[in-house]
Amino acid sequence: MEITTRSIRSLAYRCEEFLDDRGEPLSIGYSGSLALCILDAIYSTGSHPTAVDNVADRYIARRGRADGAKSLRYSIAAAGGAEVWARKVIRNLKPANVQPGAMLRAEVVDRATRLMADHDIDTVDDLLAAVGDEPSTGRHANEVARGWWALPSQKSGISWRNLLMLAGSDHFEIDHRVQGYIGEVAGFFVVTTDDYVLELIDATADFLGVEGRVVKQIVWQVSHRRLLPDPKRESFVFPYGLEDELEPEAEGWDSVFDRELCAEAVDRNSTLGPEEDLGSDWMTPYSRPGTTGAAPF
């Protein structure tokens, strides 16, 4: 399916929220600490982003931002084991799954550090070098990836792909969440094949003047709810027909986001109705202020 100007600008608008004025990503990553990558990757599945931020912040308060996998393992051992470490250092006793008697995620973290030690991996650079260009999923996946999936409650591979995104890897898997997010951005009648997703991400990166890896990281973290967009901003949807107001050519995308032009197009298509009617419930899975729901850890 053809990539339209509208779909590129729509994804660019979503990504722009997570770029600073210099085009640097505001998405989550820890290029200087494999310890923080491991913590974030394991605690982020099924957790509210605030809970994961709290885990990382508490570890940083104790250990700083430069620990590798070896230092993380030493930290757990020095505290007296995973349970004591979970209670006293990161103050999070969340289990690895919802089954009665499930081990703590802190224990999974400890086992992940042992896996890294078995493969002589301590830093983010060590991890990226060990994974290299080998597949990170599937039957021919890298040996480190297979070892990670064998960790308790990690066989889905989501935490492994989280780890790679946090470490800044070029690996990017298009799963059902990514496809669903891109489908919402591009329009309900778009068939989001893998080729379409990759082509749209590349075109959007070119439009924004950033590396494709930056857009991939934002798309992954938003679609997997590690990043929560501003709900008011997220409700804005480019009207169908906006591409008629813009240049139809796919060559030489202007890297400057034209807000005035988009605003004029919205005014001319004001019959679409209130912005809040255009939102998508699945994009706001967590309780908001004033609603009921479990508080984050």
- pLDDT band for position 191 (cuts 50, 70, 90): confident
- pLDDT band for position 50 (cuts 50, 70, 90): very high
Inform me whether the pLDDT recorded for 226 exceeds 60: yes
Instruction: Kindly list the domain boundaries of the chain, sorted by start residue.
Output: 5-24+175-283, 34-167
pLDDT of residue 291: 37
Given the structure tokens 């094949």, which residue do they identify? Answer: 193
Q: Which long-range contacts (CB under 8 A, 24 or more apart) does 184-192 make?
A: 184/280, 184/283, 185/7, 185/10, 185/11, 185/14, 186/4, 186/7, 186/10, 186/11, 187/6, 187/7, 187/240, 190/1, 190/7, 191/1
CA separation for the pair 26, 164 (Å, rounded)? 17
What pTM value is reported for the model?
0.79
What number is the average pLDDT over the span 132-138?
85
What number is the average pLDDT over the span 105-109?
98
Question: Is residue 95 helix, strand or coil?
Answer: strand
Inform me whether the pLDDT recorded for 242 exceeds 90: no
Q: Report residue 207 as tokens.
A: 């439009």
Inform me whether the pLDDT recorded for 35 exceeds 80: yes
pLDDT of residue 54: 98
- pLDDT band for position 192 (cuts 50, 70, 90): confident
Give the model confidence (pLDDT) of 3-15 as tens digits. 899 999 999 999 9
pLDDT of residue 134: 87
Across the chain, what does the average pLDDT equal?
A: 83
- pLDDT band for position 235 (cuts 50, 70, 90): low
Question: When comparing pLDDT for 82 and 237, which is higher?
Answer: 82
**For residue 104, which phi and psi values (nearest 5 degrees)?**
-70, 150
What number is the average pLDDT over the span 248-274?
41
Inform me whether the pLDDT recorded for 295 exceeds 80: no
Inform me whether the pLDDT recorded for 114 exceeds 90: yes
What number is the average pLDDT over the span 233-262?
46
